[in-house]
């Protein structure tokens, strides 16, 4: 299925140096924001208090969130838990206040709207748990990248593996840079979104890499340069890219604008990741193939013909 058919190949590789330079500058800025401002970690990473509230009638999360925000505890989370009558509230660490004091203050504030609301459970999350989550999150990211390298190195060649991982890490760092710049809350759902972007971005790279490998084997491409072969591969997959990523982006944007606060930053991470994933797969990973010295000889092995002895 194609929305359009491009008759002439778009010369993407002629802009390879420019796009690589832009990516490098963007990457450096993202790293600078991470170093200078750092990430605004959520309650799961920094520790805090988790309250489970029970209502007799379906709870209005908007009103609950307004009541909790009125206490001015800082960055807090309010979300449904299982049923419409159960609400989970995550509060950050507050100096000079215990979990019991926080739960009593929250309960008193919520009773202004519903006198029958009750606290079912109060749980304190220590900072050691947050450190463990950070460690496990970094390990998960490292294992994902290692798996991608092994898969692409086996399926294609080491140049493809390294190019794809660099492009994928570019996407991850850009996402983290946005969260550091605007101090958006970095929570477990956001971490899940980052890991999802890694898999999503490598999928686009594999599609382009597959077409590049096929092009090297086509007779009509034998007289073409490596840059022209890559341009043809990217151009041939443009329609598929627009359909696939357009539909995915529509779904993610619906979560971003209609999913509520609980899904907002998760959807934000995916939105940024999808946009930069397309960019990196086409304008970062592919030019890196040329930088790493991809040639026709790397992709097309000479056929050895055995001569039979004539009797």
Whether pLDDT at 75 is above 60: yes
Q: What is the tens place of the pLDDT at every residue in 234-291? A: 998 888 888 888 899 999 999 999 887 778 899 999 999 998 888 888 888 888 888 8
Distance CA 177, CA 30 (A): 4
Distance CA 244, CA 172 (A): 20
DSSP 8-state code for residue 111 = T
3-state secondary structure of 7: coil
Using a pLDDT cut of 70, give the percent of the chain over it: 93
Confidence (pLDDT) at 130? 65
Average pLDDT, the chain: 84
Q: What is the tens place of the pLDDT at every residue in 133-155? A: 778 877 887 887 788 778 877 88
Reported as half-sphere exposure (CB side, CA atoms, 13 A), residue 157 has a value of 16
**Residues facing residue 89 across a β-bridge:** 51, 78
Beta strands in 96-203 (DSSP E): 118-125, 185-186
Whether pLDDT at 1 is above 70: no
Distance CA 113, CA 115 (A): 7
Distance CA 11, CA 15 (A): 8
CB count, 10 Å around CB of 80?
16
DSSP 8-state code for residue 15 = G
């Amino acid at each position: 299925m194609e929305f359009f058919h491009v008759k002439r190949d778009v010369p993407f590789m002629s802009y390879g140096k420019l796009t690589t330079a832009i990516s490098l500058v963007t990457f450096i800025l993202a790293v600078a924001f991470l170093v200078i401002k750092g990430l605004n970690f959520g309650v799961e990473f920094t520790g805090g208090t988790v309250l489970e509230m029970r209502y007799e009638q379906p709870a209005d999360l908007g009103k609950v969130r307004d009541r909790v925000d009125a206490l001015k505890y800082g960055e807090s989370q309010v979300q449904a838990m299982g049923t419409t009558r159960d609400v989970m509230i995550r509060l950050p660490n507050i100096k000079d206040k215990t979990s019991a004091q926080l739960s009593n203050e929250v309960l008193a504030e919520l009773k202004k709207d519903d006198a029958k609301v009750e606290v079912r459970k109060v749980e304190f999350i220590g900072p050691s748990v947050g450190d463990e989550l950070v460690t496990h999150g970094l390990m998960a990211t490292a294992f994902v990248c290692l798996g991608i390298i092994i898969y692409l190195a086996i399926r294609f060649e080491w140049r493809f593996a390294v190019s794809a991982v660099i492009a994928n890490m570019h996407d991850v760092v850009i996402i983290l840079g946005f969260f550091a710049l605007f101090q958006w809350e970095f929570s477990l759902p956001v971490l899940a979104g980052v890991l999802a972007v890694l898999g999503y971005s490598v999928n686009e790279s594999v599609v382009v890499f597959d077409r590049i490998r096929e092009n090297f084997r086509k007779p009509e491409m034998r007289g073409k340069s490596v840059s022209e072969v890559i341009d043809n591969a990217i151009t041939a997959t443009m329609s598929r890219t627009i359909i696939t990523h357009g539909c995915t982006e529509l779904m993610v944007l619906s979560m971003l604008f209609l999913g509520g606060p609980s899904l907002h930053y998760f959807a934000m991470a995916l939105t940024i990741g999808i946009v930069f994933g397309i960019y990196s797969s086409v304008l970062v990973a592919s030019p890196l193939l040329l930088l790493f010295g991809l040639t026709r000889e790397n992709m097309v092995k000479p056929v050895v013909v055995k001569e039979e002895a004539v009797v």
